[in-house]
Structure 1
Amino acid sequence: MRRTPRPLSRLRGGRPPLRSLLLDLALGLIAALGLAPLGIWAATPLAMAALIWRLSPLPAAAVFWHVLAAGFGWFALSLSWITEPFLVDIARHGWMAPFALILMALGGALFWAVPAGVAARLSRGPAAQATAIAAALVLSDWLRGWIFTGFPWAQIGHAWIDTPVAQMAAWTGALGLGTLTMALAALPVLLRARAVMATALAAALLAGPWIAGTMRLAAPVPADRPVILRIVQPDAAQHLKWDPEWSTVFFQRLLDLSAEPGPRDLVIWPETAVNFLLEDADAVLPMMSQAAGAPLVMGIQRREGSRFFNSLATIVPGGQVTQVYDKFHLVPFGEYVPWGDALAHLGIGAFAARQGNGYSTGPGPQIMSAPDVPDFQPLICYEAIFPQHLRHLDQRPGWLLQATNDAWFGTLSGPYQHLDQARLRAIETGLPLVRAANTGVSAVVDARGRILDSLPLNQPGKIDAALPGALPATPWLAVGNVPVVTLLLLVLGLALWPRRRGRAA
Structure 2
Amino acid sequence: MSERPAKRDTQSAAASALPRGLLRQFTQPRFAPFVSIVLGVLLAQTFGRQQLGGWSIVILAAWISLLWADTQPRPKDRAKRGALLGFSLGLGWFTGGLWWLYISMAVYGGMAPPIAGGALLLFCAYLALYPTLAAALAAALAPAAGREPWKLARAIGAALALAGGWTLAEWLRGTLFTGFPWLALGYAQVGNPLSGYAPVIGQYGVNFVAALAAALLALLSQVSLRGALVSLGLLVALFLGGLQLQQVRWTHAVGPTLKVALLQGDVAQSEKFKPETLGPTLQLYGNWLSSLKANLIVTPETAVPVLPEDLDPGYLRQIERALREHHTAALLGIPLTRGADQYTNSVLGLGGAAPYRYDKSHLVPFGEFVPYGFHWFVKLMDMPLGSFARGGLDQPPFVVRGVKVAPNICYEDLFGAQMAQRFRNPAHAPNVFANLTNLGWFGNTIIIPQHLEIARMRSLEFQIPGIRATNTGATAIINAHGQVAAELPPYTVGVLTGSVQGHAGLTPFAWLASRYGVWPEVLLAAFALLLGWALTRLQRGGTHHHNARV
Give TM-score scaled by structure 2 length: 0.80
Q: Return the match for 2:351 from 316, 333, 336.
A: 316
Residues 84/37 of structure 1: CA separation in 2 closer, same or farther (3 Å cut): farther
Q: What are the Cα deviations for residues 153-182 of structure 1, in whole angstroms up to 9, with x where unaligned? A: 110111111224323201111112211211
Distance 1:330 1:220 in 2: 30
CA drift of 1:373 comes to: 4.8
Q: Return the match for 1:276 from 295, 306, 313.
A: 306
Q: Structure 1 stretches of 5 or more lacking a match?
A: 1-14
CA drift of 1:353 comes to: 7.3
Q: Secondary structure at the match of 2:363?
A: coil
Distance 2:111 2:142 in 1: 49
Distance 2:239 2:382 in 1: 42
| Equivalent pair of 2:290/2:322 in contact (CA under 8 Å) | yes
Q: Secondary structure at the match of 2:503?
A: coil
What does residue 238 of structure 1 align with? 269
What does residue 11 of structure 1 align with? none
Aligned residues between the structures: 482
- The code of the aligned residue for 1:275 comes to P
What does residue 193 of structure 1 align with? 224
What does residue 289 of structure 1 align with? 320
- Structure number with bigger Rg: 2
Distance 1:203 1:441 in 2: 34
Q: What are the Cα deviations for residues 102-156 of structure 1, in whole angstroms up to 9, with x where unaligned? A: 1222112111112321343355556344442332112111222211111111101
| Equivalent pair of 1:311/1:324 in contact (CA under 8 Å) | yes
What does residue 523 of structure 2 align with? 486
Distance 1:449 1:247 in 2: 36
What does residue 302 of structure 1 align with? 336
CA drift of 1:210 comes to: 2.9
Q: Return the match for 1:403 from 407, 425, 436.
A: 436
- Identity of matched residues, %: 28
- The code of the aligned residue for 1:70 comes to L
What does residue 181 of structure 1 align with? 210
Residues 471/39 of structure 1: CA separation in 2 closer, same or farther (3 Å cut): farther
Residues 236/147 of structure 1: CA separation in 2 closer, same or farther (3 Å cut): same
Residues 321/301 of structure 1: CA separation in 2 closer, same or farther (3 Å cut): farther
CA drift of 1:16 comes to: 6.6
| Equivalent pair of 2:162/2:212 in contact (CA under 8 Å) | no
| Equivalent pair of 1:336/1:359 in contact (CA under 8 Å) | yes
CA drift of 1:257 comes to: 2.8
Residues 315/188 of structure 1: CA separation in 2 closer, same or farther (3 Å cut): closer
Q: Return the match for 1:228 from 252, 259, 275.
A: 259
Q: Secondary structure at the match of 1:270?
A: coil
Residues 164/470 of structure 1: CA separation in 2 closer, same or farther (3 Å cut): farther
Distance 2:504 2:536 in 1: 46
Residues 368/187 of structure 1: CA separation in 2 closer, same or farther (3 Å cut): closer
CA drift of 1:297 comes to: 1.4
Distance 2:382 2:351 in 1: 29
Residues 189/166 of structure 1: CA separation in 2 closer, same or farther (3 Å cut): closer
Give TM-score scaled by structure 1 length: 0.86
Alpha carbon RMSD of aligned pairs, Å? 3.1
Residues 350/260 of structure 1: CA separation in 2 closer, same or farther (3 Å cut): farther
| Equivalent pair of 1:327/1:362 in contact (CA under 8 Å) | yes
Q: Secondary structure at the match of 2:266?
A: coil
Distance 2:252 2:404 in 1: 20
| Equivalent pair of 1:334/1:350 in contact (CA under 8 Å) | no
Distance 1:246 1:18 in 2: 55
CA drift of 1:369 comes to: 2.1
CA drift of 1:18 comes to: 4.1
Residue 336 (structure 1) aligned with residue 369 (structure 2): yes
Residues 298/51 of structure 1: CA separation in 2 closer, same or farther (3 Å cut): same
What does residue 497 of structure 1 align with? 534
| Equivalent pair of 1:310/1:359 in contact (CA under 8 Å) | yes
Distance 1:427 1:146 in 2: 21
Q: What are the Cα deviations for residues 275-301 of structure 1, in whole angstroms up to 9, with x where unaligned? A: 320233433112322454433211111
What does residue 42 of structure 2 align with? 30
Point out the more displaced range, 481-490 or 88-97.
88-97
Distance 2:539 2:95 in 1: 39
Q: Secondary structure at the match of 1:34?
A: coil
What does residue 96 of structure 2 align with? 77
Residues 177/156 of structure 1: CA separation in 2 closer, same or farther (3 Å cut): same
- The code of the aligned residue for 1:469 comes to G
Residue 361 (structure 1) aligned with residue 394 (structure 2): no
Residues 382/188 of structure 1: CA separation in 2 closer, same or farther (3 Å cut): closer
